[in-house]
Amino acid sequence: MRFLHTADWHIGRMLHGRKRYEEHSRFLEWLLGEISEQKIDVLLVAGDIFDTRMPSNRAQELYYQFLGKVAQTACRHIIITSGNHDSPSFLDAPKALLRSMRVHVVGQSGEIKEQLIELTGRDGEVHAYVAAVPYLRDRDIRKAEAGESIDDKERKIVEGIRSHYDGLAELAEAKLKQAGSRLPVIAMGHLFASGGQVGDGVRDLYIGNLGSIGADTFSAVFDYVALGHLHVAQKIGGTEHVRYSGSPIPMGFGETGQQKKVLIFDTEAGEPVRMNIRSLVVPCFQQLLRLKGDLDELLGEISALKIAGSSAWLEINYTGTQSQSDLRNQLFEAINGSEIEILRVIDQTRARVLKSESEEDPESLDSLKEEDVFERCLVAYAVPDEECEGLRESFREIMQTYFQADHFAE
C-alpha cells in the first residue's frame, strides 16, 4: 500500500492579523491532486487539523470540502487523529458519517482497541494496520496524586505514553499472529520527541520538558511512525522510520526559507516488512520574507522585490544607527503600487533606547514563554536563590493545573 503522511495543517491560523485561508485552500487543492497523481491508498493526518478548538465556518468548509473530494478519488482510507490544538469532541462528532466515506477519525483517546484500524485493499483483504493514536492529554495517561513532584509527573507521563503504544503493539501482534503473515503496522502520534527541531507556533504539550520521549518509546512492531506537532520535517533519534512530516505552510517568519514537505511511503508485507520512504516538496503558496538593515538597505530590497513583481509578506527589522521618527510611513510608502504587504516592523533603535533606560531585554511579551516571564520576575523582585526553586516548582504545578483545566477541557 502507498501512504501519504502529513500533519499540522492549522486551518484557520492567522499571522499578525492576516487570515490564511487562501494558502490552506491552495495547499488542499495541491494535496488532492498529488493523492490522485501519486496513486495514494492511505492518507494519514497526524493532528492539529485546525488552529483552534472552535474553528471558523470557513475553516470547517475547507476541511469538509477536502474530505468529500478525496472520498471521490481512488484513495481507500483517510485516517485523521487529533492534535493539541484540536477539539477531540468536535472532530469526533461526524465520525459515523465520515466512516461511510472511508474516513476514520480518532479525536478522543477512548478504548485502545478502537485505535487499531485494519486497512483493506481493493481485494477486500487486510493489507496493513494503523495504530491511530490522537494527542494523549494529561488526564488520558496518568493519575494525579497529592504531593507528587515534577519528576514524578514527568516519569508518569512518559510511562503513560509508552504504555499506550505498548498496548497497541500487543494488539497488533495478536492480529498478525491470527493472520499468519507479517503485515505492515503503522503508528501515528501527536507529541514531542526528544531532540526534535521546533518551528514557529509550537505550543508546549506538557509543562517544561514533561512528556518528551525518545524514538525507543515505539515498539519494533511499528514499521513506520507518523508524527505531528513539530513543524519541521525530520527524522527522530537517527531512525529512518520515526518521522515528522512538518507543517505544509510556514507557521510564522521563523520558518521563512524552510522547505515544506509531505512524506510518501510504500509498504510490502514480508519478514521483514519492506519500506520505501520519500518526501514530496510542498509548493510555497505565500512567500514570507525577513528583511534586515538600515533604511537605505531596506528600501533597496523593497524596490528589488517590487521590480520582481513580488507579493511577499514582510517582517522588517530596522537596524540603522539613526532613529527614524517616520520609519513606518517610509516603509509603507515604499510598497505602494505593489502586492507586497508589511506585517511587522521591528525598530532596533527604539529597542536600544528602551534597554538603555530600563536595562531590561526589549523582547515583546508574545515572544516569551510563561517560564521566561516567571524567571524574569524572580530577578526583578530579587528573590533569594534559596527560595527560587520552591517557587519554580509551585509555578509549574499551577501551570500544569491551568493546562488541564483550559487546554485539555472538553
pLDDT in tens, 292-309: 999 999 999 999 999 999
23 and 62 in contact (C-beta within 8 Å)?
no
Q: In the chain, what is the greatest distance between 2 CA atoms, to the nearest angstrom? A: 76
In three-state secondary structure terms, 214 is coil
pLDDT at position 367 over 60 = no
pLDDT grade for 369, boundaries at 50, 70 and 90: low
> Where do the DSSP E strands lie in 91-223?
103-106, 116-120, 126-132, 185-190
Distance CA 159, CA 255 (A): 32
Please give the pLDDT value at position 203: 58
pLDDT at position 266 over 70 = yes
Backbone φ and ψ for 44, nearest 5 degrees, come out as -110, 125
Percent of the chain with pLDDT over 90: 65
| Torsional sign, CA 333, 337, 343, 346 | negative
Cell numbers 468536535: residue: 90
- Among the residue ranges 28-42, 196-210, 254-268, the one predicted with the least confidence is 196-210
Percent of the chain with pLDDT over 70: 85
User: CATH says 2-281 is which class?
Assistant: alpha beta
Please give the pLDDT value at position 368: 56
Residue 387 identity (one-letter amino acid): E
pLDDT at position 343 over 80 = yes
Distance CA 98, CA 67 (A): 9
- Among the residue ranges 10-14, 71-75, 394-398, the one predicted with the least confidence is 394-398
How far is C-alpha 240 from the geometric centre of its chain's CA atoms?
20
Residue 213: all three cell numbers together: 520521549
DSSP one-letter string for 258-296: ---EEEEEEEE-SSSPEEEEEEEEPPPSS-EEEEEE-HH
Domains 2-281 and 288-402 share a fold: no
Cell numbers 479525536: residue: 107
CATH topology for 288-402 is Double Stranded RNA Binding Domain (3.30.160)
Going across the sheet that includes 341-347, the strands are 288-293, 313-318, 341-347
Please give the pLDDT value at position 404: 45
7 and 251 in contact (C-beta within 8 Å)?
no
- Among the residue ranges 60-74, 354-368, 389-403, the one predicted with the least confidence is 354-368
Query: What average pLDDT does the chain have?
Result: 87
CB atoms within 10 A of CB 32: 17
pLDDT at position 73 over 90 = yes
Average pLDDT score over residue span 151-173: 90
Distance CA 185, CA 163 (A): 17
Instruction: Please tell me which residue, 185 or 321, carries the higher pLDDT value.
Output: 185
> Where do the DSSP E strands lie in 76-223?
77-81, 103-106, 116-120, 126-132, 185-190
- Among the residue ranges 188-197, 254-263, 333-342, the one predicted with the least confidence is 188-197
Domain ranges of the chain: 2-281, 288-402
Average pLDDT score over residue span 143-172: 85
Long-range contacts of 345-348 (CB under 8 A, 24+ apart): 345/316, 345/318, 346/315, 346/316, 346/317, 346/318, 347/318, 348/317, 348/318, 348/319, 348/320
- Among the residue ranges 88-102, 296-310, 337-351, the one predicted with the least confidence is 337-351
- Among the residue ranges 10-19, 151-160, 233-242, 271-280, the one predicted with the least confidence is 151-160
pLDDT at position 46 over 60 = yes
Residue 38: all three cell numbers together: 501519486
Strand partners, 261: 281
In three-state secondary structure terms, 301 is helix
pLDDT grade for 81, boundaries at 50, 70 and 90: very high
Please give the pLDDT value at position 193: 87
169 and 143 in contact (C-beta within 8 Å)?
no
CB atoms within 10 A of CB 9: 27
In three-state secondary structure terms, 404 is helix
